[in-house]
Amino acid sequence: MNPLYVKIALSVFRKAMAAGGVSGIAVSDNELVQAVGAVVTAVSLVWGIVEQVRDRRRLLTAAASPGPTTVERVESLVKHGEAPSVSTPKDEIPQLKSDRMIL
């Protein structure tokens, strides 16, 4: 399956999960339902943050790679800890953590 479609489906699921959690907190008088709603909302929030960090890491790794590169190579660089810091400012050129090439 196309990774873009998977990402879209997971995003829709995450939004629905957050909406369900918030509505469980707001509508129910049952403390258990409110607690479950809060947990579901928190999980959805953390999931969204993790996705944002992963996407930024991949983007910066691709930008730091010399010349055209494949998605597979970017994922390999990230996996092996070569990705630039996710806090690299927009006005700086990202740098890989080392000059060695990982294939």
Rounded CA separation 82/75 (Å): 10
Closest alpha carbon to 38 in 30, 53, 49:
30
Q: Are 73 and 65 in contact (CB under 8 A)?
A: yes
The pLDDT of residue 72: 95
Classify residue 82 as exposed, middle or buried by CB count within 10 Å of its CB (0-12, 13-18, 19+).
Answer: buried
Rounded CA separation 10/50 (Å): 13
53-96 residue pLDDT tens: 999 999 999 999 988 999 999 999 999 999 999 998 889 899 99
Residue 84, domain member (yes or no): no
Phi-psi group of 91: left, alpha or beta (phi > 0 → left; psi -120 to 50 → alpha; rest → beta): alpha
The pLDDT of residue 100: 46
Could you tell me the pTM of the whole model?
0.72
Residue 32, domain member (yes or no): yes
Residue 99, domain member (yes or no): no
Q: How many domains, the chain?
A: 1
Of 97 and 22, more confident:
97
Mean pLDDT confidence for 34-58: 87
Residue 58, domain member (yes or no): yes
Residue 57, domain member (yes or no): yes
Residue 20, domain member (yes or no): yes
Which range marks the domain in which residue 25 is found? 3-79
Closest alpha carbon to 82 in 50, 60, 56, 53:
60
Of 24 and 35, more confident:
35
